[in-house]
Structure 1
């Protein structure tokens, strides 16, 4: 047997150091560079969104405030209002954003997800594609790298793009990564580099920072991915061309859709992402303008802008709320804007990510995000931030407080209902508050369905009219049942963080076939106890029990919901029945347009980028 020829090493490129100074968040902010003029009317758009949110929030709470004041307000009445008004306003904010996106898409003033148009000739600077990894499936990682490098080469970008796999994996895992990289690098149509850090300082942001300090000076742009990201060559080369034509832009964030769904939970989330993501994204893009957000992946960044603006400091104190900033991306977007760089979101074809396979795996990821986003509350007073950036930070942090607030609201309602007081679910006029709350919750889903059904091409992409309606009906039922499960999971995460227990940096579980019912039972003790408590409340007060019934069913059925949705076989069955069908991903070198009208220039694709 002929001995195998050793793999030829592919060394790292010559180092091109780029300084990345630590930013001060207090005191005088850094001097801003000259910035582009804001699009006309952007302030009016934002004030309109905020005003509409306030009006809808007050409208939903007016009847309740009147009902509670009939016999005088006591402490629990005040607490009920203090929770309900901001919570319903939070939902109203999402409704207003989605309504705006719905109007933009239905009127044709926004094209939706489109291929990135680019000129035939543009000045080509070097771009690095960075994929940080941490003990991920080696086969899956390098299959994605292989597909993306070939797609970039097919778009003619091989000479201008380099691909870096930046590993924080352990030594044993790293050896397997290096072997896979060596095999791929010998046959790849473009340069692929691999670097493993011996010390994982600062997690992913530390990994990116180390690359910037060593190699960033050689690259005008960097496209930042996650280990589960996929982007087409057309998308990546197109983003680079937009950056070339817009020198004041520091970052372009794409809106990734979910792909490679296998379990029932993933297929459900994939349908929700494709069906509802369009109107929410179009609305968010409409009011965020040049103060958009960074989600940490599937985005292109101007390397020198990032280096001068985004050196993250360590927060004083110990984790979970001190130490390294975990949700670095939103902070980096705010720091780029503070320095004067525009940060835009774009809706383009060819940008994708995977989703955790089960409810439990999603809860683990959610706990990490909760810690990082709650850290942002400490950054709201940072010097020099644009007020819209502060709003993004506040929204992100609030998302992980609302579940606990809803639980407190329900518990207060139970107390009021059992003691004979008026509450949200007693008294005829307060039913209007519930009806408006339901409208704000489910209105965006109905608007998204109307948008899908309005176009034959979109209907066909989701499997036809009946498939769309069936999928939406099942998705709504699953969402109602899973909402109390997520509420308890996020409340547990918040309680742990308040007790000083930080989240741990573990590799994400992306390959699950089924969670046994016994395992699901052991993870849902708190859900079952709370569900039984609400059963008792329902026996004592049947009216209250009727309104609590969806929550009771969701909590008591949590183990079966978790186990059932973790199944790949159930995922295959729903797909075979034509349920949760989504449009095929656009991963080829020349993705077709999905819009119903042609796109002629960069302004329409980037919507102001």
Structure 2
């Protein structure tokens, strides 16, 4: 609703956002939403890939309207250039060396085209693997030596937060598990209030739910939340609002844009949460302080830690994220610096430039890669940087949490959505004004899924060449030095980051937080084995997702399950039996031609044959709890849970009790 007496306010990002008098006189949390203070958020049409390329070649690249003038170069920008060139040279040199070794051990195929095709695929895939490896190595370097050019929460630890830094904490949801949403949100609100800065923040639950039962449960949970917060009058509380959108256009990005048009002018910053996000008040306040101290920062992204599920699959992912993922996060921070990632949640955004520059127009054309933008986060980061603002990944912002999918099938459901969105974003890589680092992110985002069919093509081509009678080495005692070096190089690329992640834990004397040194080593071995078993399943599934996206088959965009439930055998068979059947037929055909070839098929064939029982067993909650009790895959957040997580789990258990009318949240067990 619009209030006629609300005074107009400036869109200036540094202006003080005046609070509406209507919101002051009413009891906190007594209305579902504050008075509307409309602003504009225009979406500029895309130039298109080929038109952008033509304009770039002819020097007719248009200037971005309203972009900030180029600021004087900062010291970190020169460091970033050096690091990026070093990164590129290391990747190129390693790829060329590996490709030369591979070419030298190639037999003389009858078809030179097939041989060269295999070498080309190997070179492309090697560059992809090496880029990840080098990122991990840079992260290990940062973990040992630090990085004076990165943005750090420590730099603002002693700063005071200005009351003018009005910040909205928004949580876009759509048919989510209500207990998970409001348990985490209540814990976050209570943690923010405990910092003493509650009046600087307002919270908005932005619902796109179209299931009437879920919408009613959301409203009841919101009423419960505002009553709980109002019951503590001694401590200034955040205000919590709830808006159920009727015109559900453009998915999550449209939901956020609708908030910006209605209330964005009231706030200098906004913190975006996902439905399963939990954030500590100290983390959120530090994000706002970093924004205040760095006026050219447009987005600051936290390094989110996965936590919350107890299935074996989820706990393996949590462990990998904590031990190995930390290296990759620090590595990305090292070479990206102020042109970094935005992952769509657990981040803070400067509202005024976001409204002016980051509205998303649909991509013209037909098919699965046209229409409304699905994976909005990478695109919004690129547009924010194009407007003259920087995007930072801050790895030492502690207190930012999310959940992982509880089982393998839920993970693949999520990847199906991400695949189509990332491939769609690749169409924007030539848009004028996009920073080269963000162009590379569009490419790597697509390669995260295109690499699967490329690996499949590489393996299929190699098997076909071998079965067709091409000469091969069969005597293990006369393997050439080049082939041994190639195998050693490949294993190093794949496993050394995991080894260094474990080594870093020991070097920082953190092994007790993982259950002790022996538990850490056992957990690392278990996680690596699970990753090896699941890799072929992901490869085939991602290959299918790419095929679906490129052929234009419509995608039903649904949220992944937030609650953990054991995968039924029937469901696992329905989802995974086709790929198991295909590999069985392929093995039978190859075995009929040359039974010795089955040895080379085993690394892929055996995991695919075990895919169904693996998906079921790793989804068992009881197994995950049992392994946690035995200190397998233990992470610091489980060994000693932060207060905000303990609050979230306690609230989830209460909301899941009979009588609340909410969807159960077994995930928060």
TM-score normalised per structure 2: 0.83
Q: 1:447: which partner in 2?
A: 500
Is 1:565 the equivalent of 2:618?
yes
- Residue 584 of structure 1 aligns to a residue in which SS? helix
Match of 1:13 among 34, 39, 57: 34
Matched residue of 2:199: which SS? coil
Could you tell me which runs of 5 or more consecutive residues in structure 1 were left unpaired when the two chains were aligned: 1-6, 592-609
Task: Show the counterpart of 1:74.
Answer: 112
The whole-number CA distance in structure 2 between the counterparts of 1:568 and 1:354 is 15
CA deviation map 1:392-428 (0-9, x unaligned): 1110011110011101111101111112325799963
Q: For the residues of structure 2 that align with 1:385 and 1:572, how far apart are their CA atoms?
A: 47
Is this contact kept in 2: 1:231–1:587, CA < 8 A? Answer: no
**In the superposition, relative to structure 1, how do residues 495 and 447 fare at CA in structure 2: closer, same or farther (>3 Å)?**
same
C-alpha distance in 1 between matches for 2:342 and 2:110: 47
1:182 maps to which residue? Answer: 223
State how far apart, in whole Å, the 2-side matches of 1:74 and 1:43 are.
40
What is the CA-CA distance between 1:59 and the residue it aligns to?
1.8
CA contact (8 A) 2:32 2:241 kept: yes
> Displacement, 1:543?
5.5
Q: What's the offset of the Cα at 1:368?
A: 0.5
Tell me the number of residue pairs that the alignment of Structure 1 and Structure 2 aligns.
584
1:23 corresponding residue in structure 2: 44
Q: Is the 8 A contact 1:363 1:489 kept in 2?
A: yes
Q: 2:204·2:240 contact (CA, 8 Å) conserved in 1?
A: yes
1:140 is aligned to 2:192: no
- For 2:449, what is the secondary structure of its paired residue? coil
Q: What stretches of structure 2 of length at least 5 have no aligned partner?
A: 1-27, 48-60, 230-236, 647-669
* Among candidates 438, 445, 451, match of residue 389 of structure 1: 438
Name the CA distance, whole Å, in 1 between partners of 2:120 and 2:146.
40
Q: Distance in 2 between matches of 1:106 and 1:434?
A: 28
Shift of the alpha carbon at 1:190? 1.9
Partner of 2:406: 357
Asked whether the 8 Å contact 1:115–1:350 carries over to 2, the reply is no
1:535 Cα offset (Å): 5.6
Deviations 1:248-299 (A, max 9, x none): 1000011101111221111111111111121111110000011101110000
User: How far apart are the structure 2 equivalents of 1:507 and 1:436?
Assistant: 39
Q: Deviations over 1:236-259 (max 9, x none)?
A: 011001101111100001110111
1:596 counterpart residue number: none
Q: Give the drift of 1:542.
A: 5.6
> Residue 652 of structure 2 corresponds to which residue in structure 1?
none
- The change in CA–CA distance for 1:431 and 1:366 in structure 2 (over 3 A counts) is same
Any conservation in 2 of the 1:337–1:385 contact (CA below 8 Å)?
Answer: yes
Q: Do 1:322 and 1:375's aligned partners in 2 also have CA atoms closer than 8 Å?
A: yes
Q: How many Å apart are 1:117 and its aligned residue?
A: 4.3
Aligned runs of 1:145-156 on 2, under 5 Å? 145-156=185-196
- 1:317-466 to 2 correspondences below 5 Å: 317-347=365-395, 348-422=397-471, 428=480, 429-456=482-509, 458-466=510-518
Instruction: Give the equivalent residue in structure 2 for 1:211.
Output: 259
User: After the TM superposition, which residues 572-591 of structure 1 pair with which residues of structure 2 at under 5 Å, given as runs?
Assistant: 572-584=625-637, 587-588=642-643
Change (3 A) 1:436 1:551: same
> C-alpha distance in 1, partners of 2:518/2:178?
40
Instruction: Identify the residue that residue 88 of structure 1 maps to in structure 2.
Output: 126
In the TM superposition, residue 545 of structure 1 has moved relative to its aligned partner by: 2.9
The residue number in structure 1 matching 2:54 is none
Aligned positions of 1:219-238 closer than 5 A: 219-238=267-286
Structure 1 equivalent of residue 340 of structure 2: 292
Matching residue of 2:523: 471
**Contact 2:180–2:275 (CA<8 Å) still a contact in 1?**
no
For residue 140 of structure 1, report the CA deviation from its aligned partner: 1.8
2:205 to 165, 182, 191: 165
Partner residue in 1 for 2:99: 61
* Alignment equivalent of 2:142, drawn from 95, 104, 107: 104
Does the CA contact (< 8 Å) of 1:165 and 1:194 recur in 2? yes
TM-score, normalising length: structure 1: 0.91
Give the conservation status (yes or no) of the 8 Å contact 1:488–1:526: no
Is the alpha carbon distance of 1:553 and 1:126 closer, same or farther for their aligned partners in structure 2, counting shifts above 3 Å? same
CA contact (8 A) 1:413 1:423 kept: no
Distance 1:62 1:539, change over 3 A: farther
Equivalent residue for 1:309, pick from 347, 357, 378: 357
1:360 is displaced (CA, Å) by 0.6
**Structure 1 residues 423 and 529: CA distance shift in structure 2, 3 A:** farther
Aligned to 1:597: none
Query: Does structure 1 conserve the Cα–Cα contact (< 8 Å) formed by 2:151 and 2:392?
Result: no
Query: 8 Å contact 1:259–1:270 — kept in the other structure?
Result: yes
CA distance in 2, matches of 1:368, 1:437: 30
Residue 540 of structure 2: which of 472, 480, 488 is its match?
A: 488
Sort the Cα spacing of 1:556 and 1:589 in 2 relative to 1 into closer, same or farther, 3 A: closer
Q: CA deviation at 1:115?
A: 6.9
Q: Contact 1:25–1:383 at 8 Å: present in 2 too?
A: no
Q: Cα 1:43–1:544, aligned 2, differ >3 Å: closer, same or farther?
A: farther
**Match 2:556 to one of 504, 508, 511:** 504
Segment drifting more, 369-378 vs 12-21: 12-21
Partner SS for 1:41: helix
| Contact kept? 2:139, 2:334, Cα under 8 Å | yes
| Alignment CA distance shift 1:424-1:292 (3 Å) | farther
Quick one: which of 570, 574, 588 aligns to 1:518? 570
Q: CA deviation at 1:579?
A: 0.4
Q: RMSD of the TM alignment (CA)?
A: 2.4
